[in-house]
Amino acid sequence: MEPKVVLHDHLDGGVRPSTIIDLARRNDVALPTQDVQELADWFTIVPGMPFPDAWARFYLVIELLQSADALRLVAREAVEDLAADGVVYAELRFAPLNHLADGMTGDDVVAAVVAGLSDGERETGCVARTIICGIRENDPDESASAARLAASWLGRGVVGFDLAGNEFDFGAGMHAEAYSIARDAGLGLTIHAGEMAGPASIAEALDAASPTRIGHGLHLVDDCEVRDGRIIELGNVARQVLDRQITLEVCVTSNSCLGTPVPEHPVRLYQDAGFSLSVNPDDRAITTTTVAREYELWRSVHGFDAGEFREINLGAIGAAFCDDNTKAALRTTIARGWAG
Ligand SMILES: [Zn+2]
């Protein structure tokens, strides 16, 4: 199988439905169904679903991930599932402060996830690192404290910092301090932007975070003039992203769940205009996708070929937040694996 790099995958969005059923039983938490397939269907976010209903899926999973054992288990399983699709390097992200309800500390939470990722890495050979998320709608002090936690784990499995959550109502600007803490510590910087909101939100994200990667960037296309299936002119924000070669962590299926049909996704426009792209599943369970499925959609709907995937994965490992030695080894693996 061709070696793949995943840069954008949420730990709490990818828990196996069968594991959710097990954890719910152990914790006496009610589920809408005990059937694996029915639960998988229930979890899937569909276009038009009100955001509170969509977020309820995450809250249910998070409720089940309040112990070190549960976190370690789902981290290991995530690596197993990614490796089964040929992923050789993955960055899994999550918000540690969501997992403190039953008394774990931030350090306990990160330690459990890092241990689970190491379990998975040992078992499969897929190199797995983690990105710590702050949450837009939470108090800026909380994202600053998440950034400090990430900084204290840098070099021990944690490689980056991200901001996730409600992009409509909470601008990135209020979390600038968290990014300044993360930047000073030497963490890799990414940020969800242009997923729900438009170019102004991406501009604010660039300003507040100075990221080298952007989660989604779907609405960057709103800052581009498109004619005959090509981008012919870039606005200021799109120009900055292109000129700085900020890598877009593209999540096609996830965007389709929020209302952009796969054929209308701008990923082909971005590729032809020279943007730096990576292929990502975002929330494998909550959007019912896999890494293999994302590649199949890029190939069959948007015409990506093996040569393009090879370049995309080499670019993605270049944009990864791990150390240079790890990158160099993976670069060789990717170059050989996609050579055909
Ligand atoms: Zn995401």
- Helix crossing, 199-209 with 176-185: angle to 10°? 50
How far apart are the C-alpha atoms of 226 and 232, rounded to whole Å?
A: 6
Find, among 196, 192, 162, 166, the residue nearest to 178 by Cα.
162
Cα(288) to centroid(ligand 1), Å: 14
Say whether 195 is catalytic: yes
Cα(167) to centroid(ligand 1), Å: 11
Cα–Cα distance list, 167 to 61, 174, 195, 215 (Å) = 21, 12, 8, 12
Cα(215) to centroid(ligand 1), Å: 6
pLDDT averaged over every residue in the chain: 96
Cα(13) to centroid(ligand 1), Å: 9
Point out which residues pair with 93 in neighbouring strands.
10, 131
pLDDT tens-place string over residues 126-180 = 999 999 999 999 999 999 999 999 999 999 999 999 999 999 999 999 999 999 9
pLDDT tens-place string over residues 85-140 = 999 999 999 999 999 999 999 999 999 999 999 999 999 999 999 999 999 999 99
Of the candidate CATH numbers 3.20.20.140, 3.40.50.1100, 3.40.1350.10, 3.40.190.10, the domain formed by 4-323 belongs to 3.20.20.140
From first CA to last CA, the distance across the chain in angstroms is 11
The two tokens of residue 7 are 């840069």
Cα(55) to centroid(ligand 1), Å: 12
The overall pTM is greater than 0.85: yes
Find, among 323, 3, 2, the residue nearest to 154 by Cα.
323
Name the catalytic one among 91, 121, 167, 195: 195
Sequence spans of domains, the chain: 4-323
Q: What is the mean pLDDT of residues 232-261?
A: 97
Cα(107) to centroid(ligand 1), Å: 23
To 10 degrees, the CA torsion angle through 280, 285, 288, 289? 30
